[in-house]
Structures are given as structure tokens and as C-alpha cells.
């Protein structure tokens, strides 16, 4: 029993070391990526529509990989509050359910949508469930995490509720780990004019 508790303690410590990091990308406004984020489209959570990122040129894009059974799941409320605060401005929030971290998003699209609506009143856009890492990584996360595509840097999505911010000009500006909440000043400072 002691060895299990010790192992759990070590894992908690290591997880906290990796999920709370944030990275501002210096000089991002001068970087020319090899590909444009605006060439990417995503399917909506219900699979009936598409989200064409080109429709959001001129707006900040906030991408978050989400999960319904994670310790960070209450950030859905923070994201919804942030979305409402900036609803009439130039900020768009897009959540992407992902089941790659601890199997914490096992539900169907219908179950995920119902959970988000019932528990957090989510009205920001949700994509279909997708992979944010590995051999089946979605094109969006390939762009967000690979310097060769985004021109800004290489990043690794290390857990649920990592956040990427793209400028109104389509440049990758900032990466936030799971511990940074959408209501934290560190996050909000990105959107100050």
C-alpha cells in the first residue's frame, strides 16, 4: 500500500511539473509559418457541420483540448465565462474533446454535448473528438505543435485543457498548460489592447 501511495505521489508531482507551464512566443508577429492555420477545417461535435478557421481571420483563436472526466474539467465553466466575456469582441473559443489522456473523455459526441450543456452551459464551439498527439494527430494540433508548420515553436500537448492562442493575423502567440485557467491574469493579459 505504501508503494502505491508513493508511486501516486510521484506521478502527481511529475504531472504538476508538466501541465502548468506556459510559453509566450517572442517575436511571433514576425514569424512566417510554412502553412496557414486558415487552411484547416474541423467537424463540429455533432458531426453535422464544419468549422472553417478561415471564417475567423481577424480574430484571436483559443484552442483547448477538453475532457469530461478530468480534474481540470471545471475549466469548462472558466472557458464559458471567458467566452461570454469576449462574445462581442474578436475572440473565438474552440474546444476539442480528446480521449488520449487517462481515457478521461470516453463518451460519445451526444454524451459529451449533453454533459457540457447540463453541467457548464457551454455555448462556445466544440469539435468532434480528435487526437492531439501521436500518429493520428489532427491537422489542427499538428499545426499548433510543430514549428515547421506554425513557424513559432515545437510544443507538446501534455494533458487535458492545454490552451493555444492564435493572433488575429494567424500567428501562434501563446501556449498555456493545464494549470493556467482562462480567468487567470496571465491568460487574460494576452487579450488586453
Please state whether beta strands 125-126 and 172-176 pair in parallel, antiparallel, or not at all (unpaired): unpaired
Q: How many residues does the chain have?
A: 193
Q: Can 70 be counted among the known catalytic residues? A: yes
Out of 17, 70, 98, 116, the active site residue is 70
Catalytic residues: 70
Amino acid at each position: 500500500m505504501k508503494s502505491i501511495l508513493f508511486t501516486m505521489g510521484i506521478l502527481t508531482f511529475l504531472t504538476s511539473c508538466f501541465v502548468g507551464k506556459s510559453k509566450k512566443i517572442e517575436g511571433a508577429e514576425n514569424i512566417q509559418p510554412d502553412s496557414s492555420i486558415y487552411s484547416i477545417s474541423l467537424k463540429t461535435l455533432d458531426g453535422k457541420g464544419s468549422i472553417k478557421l478561415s471564417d475567423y481571420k481577424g480574430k484571436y483563436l483559443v484552442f483547448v483540448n477538453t475532457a469530461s472526466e478530468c480534474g481540470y474539467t471545471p475549466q469548462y465553466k472558466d472557458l464559458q465565462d471567458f467566452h461570454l466575456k469576449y462574445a462581442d469582441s474578436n475572440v473565438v473559443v474552440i474546444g476539442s474533446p480528446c480521449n488520449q489522456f487517462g481515457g478521461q473523455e470516453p463518451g460519445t459526441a451526444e454524451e459529451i454535448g449533453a454533459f457540457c450543456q447540463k453541467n457548464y452551459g457551454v455555448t462556445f464551439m466544440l469539435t468532434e473528438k480528435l487526437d492531439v498527439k501521436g500518429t493520428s494527430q489532427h491537422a489542427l494540433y499538428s499545426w499548433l505543435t510543430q514549428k515547421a508548420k506554425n513557424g513559432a515553436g515545437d510544443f507538446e500537448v501534455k494533458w487535458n485543457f492545454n490552451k493555444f492562442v492564435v493572433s488575429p493575423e494567424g500567428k501562434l502567440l501563446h501556449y498555456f498548460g493545464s494549470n493556467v485557467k482562462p480567468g487567470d491574469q496571465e491568460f487574460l493579459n494576452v487579450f488586453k489592447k
